[in-house]
Structure 1
């Protein structure tokens, strides 16, 4: 066993560059998970903690933690894909040495153990490095968000939990070991003589495969079905979730299958252009893409996954914020504007929460507002509570307690029916506690219209009947006002006036503003402005997520460096011969650089297509089912969500080729700076 460990250590030290690339890929995944918790905890660390403030802000921290953790897991998964490619190419490059070990008597189990132990050591190294990088990345993203946001303008000092550190580092080790298992098993079960023979055979152009054609036909069939019969028009949340997984996996498989064909098309199409612009060097570079198909496919897919993550997350968040959360406000407030009184200065962002000790409205304030508005508006008091059973997202997403008569008179902003009606809802309310929830919350509890959901309250368990199912304001569940006796709340956290028309608003606006001015500690705001502030805050979340996703692109660039190093080592005789017949170091260096540029171009293009496809799939299949919008415009919402995602995709197409060209150029210059003889005898670094 000790000899196997020593061999693993020696192999790592013999290839410091490749080992460093693997360790950094792991570190990026671990660091994003640690940074996710640091950022989310810092959001509420500087807030004055009272029962009301924690009710209002707990969901911010939880949802930010969930969102950033998901991004961290996506980056970690991308790192796993990169590591799999790294280990696969490494095993191929070392095939001769591994074959000689098997021929000398090493068993399959010993060979697998050696390779897995290498991955284990790199996982531990990457995990330790990720722990150090996590805090740095977290603070960097916090500074970025503070510099670009008027809402997230106050972050406190916090410490990441020991559990998050241990689980993140452990996940890094697990990903590293898992990525090495398949390549290790494959090479261990290759007969020693076969391993030696394959390692000495030259690279040849690949034979034609039906994979790209099957991928193209599969994609055509998939999108044709979605165009004719989009599941979003009939699927409820649980069914939509299952279909989304199936279609996403099918789309990814189709894109991956088409990758070799795209490489072939680009290689052939770039020949003439590169021959005219860069001469024979460019012609050789385009031809090498076809000759080194397997290695190029792995590098292209690594880049594609990284770009697709950025494009996909951008489109996903656009869909949730613009098409789901703010669809109702955007439509309702045009016809029925609303204004509100709040105990904090909403426009001051998180800083407002730090300077206020009371988060409730003064007693009797609703009566003052009602006296001013008269017959021009409905006045509604809103209470926030935490009810995990009916939380729209996670366990800490807030729910409202509202008076049903006021809710009914307020219009569609806070709730509209997809299932049920007001007459039946009022009948349920006469019997006790009632709920108005989205279809997602109803199915989460395996309940439907007329069925009860038990809710744990400070006063005990309260059975509440679902009186209505449909879209609510930003997805928050609504509990009837009869439940107020079960919660220790003495006053509302906001009072909203709903004028019956824009002219009614104009008639009462000056008096309402004067009331706010004469009431210390009370701020007046139009609800339209309130939703704009919420949307601005969501943009800050996107910035934080994009900042973390950039690590995925950097990880992919490390994959290109790894591909370049292995390509130079595998082709050292070919490159040495080019040098011997008159090619300069600069020309050979440009050959490798152009190959890197083409890999970046193909990978970023494929990633953009993959990411846009994932966005369209998700929207067309889910189509607002979690919120319950009737007559949801499936394809219109899908294209509206995909358009903002095109920006990061086009940016990636314009910049990634230069990044990968640079990533290829640096190791190429280092490994080709010697003489012809040294190039022929180059060792792995």
Structure 2
């Protein structure tokens, strides 16, 4: 039987290619996922270990290490150097440019230095600093320049027992650094200062009763010729209880496990997408083997007639599936490994700022898991066809070789199960939406996922009952275009099980793509609404933010901002001092109401602003106990009073008056803020830095708050995540489209005699090819449309559940993505018909009508 099976595979090699390609893509997906997970683990570990540079050991304890503990480590025999791992944060400025950056002390031993000097040197004396190249460029400084460090120190002589006061130091830039191994990549780089400066700053910042500083770990360098294990044991003995002394690599692995909860989340998520791809591949494989068995009816019957039993026939089909699974899986492993290696080379060339391995690591898991999964999926997918092969009776060999028919629909039990799953799933999904909108988003999301999965499985199980009807309906709409369309529709309905399996494979991929696109579009719309309420303008330029001086914004700064690239309009706000009836003093801002409504993101929220009105955010009104419509009397610094009506608005409004009211209250009011509106086509990530550069030479300290950049960054994150997810799910769609091509190819083989008859009665080759093209587009189009409808429904349900914690959820339809998916499906259905159409058109009527 093995020789016979191999001979049948050689005869059917063309039919097996499509199924093989499907499993190649699926296993390549699994292989690439496992390799990528390993690369990410290695990259993370290398990045963590890079902080310890060339240290021999890292000592840590559950309760951290004190300064005395670190000193005790230095006295251990064989120890050459010890440095505590410590960080500080520096608020650095130069002119109007400012950064808040992580800082590390210069090491006492070169083995502990994770950074490389690009220009100049490391700091060796107090008051010196070495900056990362990017930070130096951002501040616009070089070697020999000075930067200002702002920090808070504790003043014990202040009233009420002491208080913090701001101190500014001048630090001299002595060098610039690079981070070649990504030691501080996650923190955006690190500034290097002397250990003496770090100790002095911490001492000045500490309150009298504040506990002594502790350290998470200490780096240890051993003397030459020292035995590592001997010193390791001695270090543990000299450390607090439960302390550990490990190598940098061991420490990195432990920290990485803590960060991920000892779970490789990334790998699991991507393997979920690989499972979807393999599920679709299984549908394609099942469909292929069903038709192969149907095509071999006479051969199987002859085998039964000459003595082959049912188990031998079943083993023949399963053996064929096993061989196909093993060969295709090996191809998928090679393809996945090759693609991942190419991706590594591209990533290394892109200089991402993190240590990327040069080569992939091919472990037994990387080879065996995809091989096992691909083979098992192929064999399991062939169970139903193998069972069908055992039902072939010997008398089938005596029947005419008509085209096989698999027109049997689903049974009553299948209908009941599908109905129960669909109804129950939709009920649970509705309950999840209700829970999410009533303040229980976590439970609602779990219920929503469970309900969505149940209902989707119900839809797939019951597809054989309703999907052919949908195809028939669409086919009747196309029937008016001619006899070719009517023939194509009839061909799709001749074998409803196979048509359903093919459309279902595409339905799965398209549903998931549409669901993620819809969810992301709704998230983006809801996020825009929330950001518009939180940040009323694109960019805020001010002198009175974060405790700044509150001086007037110079006129040249206003003109510079107005002329910056990407700026559409600028509105000035004046700052006035006011006193509430309860004696509280605060700053209110005045703005021209008409101009304000032209620049803000939500003009309707400023509709109440007019003379005699004080605008407050709803949160501030609640905090101050001020009701909407309440009358207040404000008192200016010169005793002038102003009677106003308090009105509450969106989140971003804070004590806002009309300009004339503010100047009447405080005649000395100056312009302290600018509201900046950007052009709709402007890129915020370029426009905001352009504004910062425009005011770099202004003498007055001016802050630039770019709310538009935050919005753009959040949208960029959503778009990036969506792009990755859709790209992963697109693999399933590609596999499903292979199934469409496979179905058409097998359909051509089945209908050789029918095609010949059509040619004999006058159907041209072009019409025959067009008939198959309509058939392919009909199968792909119906699957895509139904998938889009289900995807939008599930996407809305997920958005309503998960995003309700943000407030009102704005549901959206990603029309561009929906149209793109539909067009791709139709074009792919058309392309899938090209080769089968040419095969059908090349067959002469006489040859096709010959008896097999």
Whether 1:611 aligns to 2:743 is no
* Distance in 1, Cα, partners of 2:549 & 2:376: 63
* Residue of 449, 453, 460 corresponding to 1:244: 449
Shift of 1:302: 1.7
Shift of 1:578: 1.9
| Structure 2 equivalent of residue 270 of structure 1 | 475
Q: Could you list the per-position Cα deviations for residues 223-279 of structure 1 after superposition, in whole angstroms to 9, with x for gaps in the alignment?
A: 68866973434556357425522442223423653565343344355346444x3x3
Query: Secondary structure of the residue that 2:842 maps to in structure 1?
Result: coil
Q: Could you list the per-position Cα deviations for residues 132-177 of structure 1 after superposition, in whole angstroms to 9, with x for gaps in the alignment?
A: 3325555788999999xx9989994544443463223332222212
Shift of 1:531: 5.1
Whether 1:648 aligns to 2:817 is yes
Pair 1:182–1:674, CA change in 2 (3 A) = closer
Instruction: Map 1:328-367 onto structure 2 (within 5 A).
Output: 332-334=534-536
Q: Could you list the per-position Cα deviations for residues 81-117 of structure 1 after superposition, in whole angstroms to 9, with x for gaps in the alignment?
A: 2222222332233333334334433333333332222
Shift of 1:556: 1.6
Query: Secondary structure of the residue that 1:162 maps to in structure 2?
Result: coil
Whether 1:53 aligns to 2:253 is no
Instruction: Map 1:583-622 onto structure 2 (within 5 A).
Output: 583-620=763-800, 622=801
Question: Would you say the 8 A contact 1:93–1:566 is kept in 2?
Answer: no
Query: Secondary structure of the residue that 2:382 maps to in structure 1?
Result: helix
Gaps of 5+ in 1: 340-368, 376-421, 423-497
* Residue of 431, 436, 440 corresponding to 1:232: 436
| Structure 1 equivalent of residue 366 of structure 2 | 165
Whether 1:19 aligns to 2:224 is no
Q: Could you list the per-position Cα deviations for residues 629-666 of structure 1 after superposition, in whole angstroms to 9, with x for gaps in the alignment?
A: 27x54xx45x33xx22x533322222312311221221
* Distance in 2, Cα, partners of 1:221 & 1:102: 46
Shift of 1:131: 2.6
Question: Would you say the 8 A contact 1:307–1:652 is kept in 2?
Answer: yes
Q: Could you list the per-position Cα deviations for residues 556-589 of structure 1 after superposition, in whole angstroms to 9, with x for gaps in the alignment?
A: 2211121112212222222222223333333322
* Distance in 2, Cα, partners of 1:207 & 1:155: 57
* Distance in 1, Cα, partners of 2:536 & 2:512: 35
* Distance in 1, Cα, partners of 2:784 & 2:673: 51
Pair 1:95–1:672, CA change in 2 (3 A) = same
* Distance in 1, Cα, partners of 2:183 & 2:6: 55
Query: Secondary structure of the residue that 1:660 maps to in structure 2?
Result: helix
Whether 1:560 aligns to 2:762 is no
Instruction: Map 1:241-320 onto structure 2 (within 5 A).
Output: 241-242=446-447, 244-254=449-459, 257-258=462-463, 260-271=465-476, 273-275=478-480, 277=481, 279-318=482-521
| Structure 2 equivalent of residue 667 of structure 1 | 836
* Distance in 2, Cα, partners of 1:294 & 1:193: 25
* Distance in 2, Cα, partners of 1:373 & 1:184: 82
* Distance in 2, Cα, partners of 1:318 & 1:139: 33
Gaps of 5+ in 2: 48-178, 190-255, 552-622, 624-651, 657-670, 676-687, 698-702
* Distance in 1, Cα, partners of 2:434 & 2:424: 13
* Residue of 17, 26, 30 corresponding to 1:29: 26
* Distance in 1, Cα, partners of 2:794 & 2:520: 13
| Structure 2 equivalent of residue 535 of structure 1 | 715
Shift of 1:181: 2.2
Greater helix share, 1 or 2?
Answer: 1
* Greater shift in the superposed pair: 305-314 or 46-55: 46-55
Whether 1:657 aligns to 2:826 is yes
Question: Would you say the 8 A contact 1:337–1:505 is kept in 2?
Answer: no
Pair 1:682–1:243, CA change in 2 (3 A) = farther
Question: Would you say the 8 A contact 2:464–2:496 is kept in 1?
Answer: no
* Distance in 2, Cα, partners of 1:283 & 1:565: 19
Q: CA RMSD in A?
A: 5.2
| Structure 1 equivalent of residue 279 of structure 2 | 77
Question: Would you say the 8 A contact 2:23–2:278 is kept in 1?
Answer: yes
Question: Would you say the 8 A contact 1:123–1:172 is kept in 2?
Answer: yes
* Greater shift in the superposed pair: 61-70 or 213-222: 213-222
* Residue of 335, 345, 350 corresponding to 1:133: 335
Shift of 1:63: 6.5
* Distance in 1, Cα, partners of 2:274 & 2:21: 15
Pair 1:126–1:608, CA change in 2 (3 A) = same
| Structure 2 equivalent of residue 676 of structure 1 | 845
Question: Would you say the 8 A contact 1:589–1:665 is kept in 2?
Answer: yes
| Structure 2 equivalent of residue 385 of structure 1 | none
| Structure 2 equivalent of residue 623 of structure 1 | 802
| Structure 1 equivalent of residue 302 of structure 2 | 100
Whether 1:112 aligns to 2:314 is yes
Shift of 1:25: 0.4
Pair 1:335–1:517, CA change in 2 (3 A) = closer
Q: Could you list the per-position Cα deviations for residues 431-489 of structure 1 after superposition, in whole angstroms to 9, with x for gaps in the alignment?
A: xxxxxxxxxxxxxxxxxxxxxxxxxxxxxxxxxxxxxxxxxxxxxxxxxxxxxxxxxxx
Whether 1:188 aligns to 2:390 is yes
Question: Would you say the 8 A contact 1:336–1:500 is kept in 2?
Answer: no
Shift of 1:23: 1.4
Question: Would you say the 8 A contact 1:307–1:608 is kept in 2?
Answer: yes
Pair 1:505–1:146, CA change in 2 (3 A) = farther
TM-score (norm: length of structure 2): 0.50
* Distance in 2, Cα, partners of 1:659 & 1:677: 32
* Distance in 1, Cα, partners of 2:718 & 2:343: 15
Pair 1:15–1:239, CA change in 2 (3 A) = same
* Distance in 2, Cα, partners of 1:321 & 1:19: 44
Question: Would you say the 8 A contact 1:83–1:179 is kept in 2?
Answer: yes
Query: Secondary structure of the residue that 1:230 maps to in structure 2?
Result: helix
Question: Would you say the 8 A contact 2:23–2:332 is kept in 1?
Answer: yes
Question: Would you say the 8 A contact 1:22–1:83 is kept in 2?
Answer: yes
Q: Could you list the per-position Cα deviations for residues 486-538 of structure 1 after superposition, in whole angstroms to 9, with x for gaps in the alignment?
A: xxxxxxxxxxxx9978998769x99x979x979xxxx9874652452243144
Question: Would you say the 8 A contact 2:422–2:456 is kept in 1?
Answer: yes
* Distance in 1, Cα, partners of 2:417 & 2:743: 27
| Structure 1 equivalent of residue 757 of structure 2 | 577
Shift of 1:26: 1.0
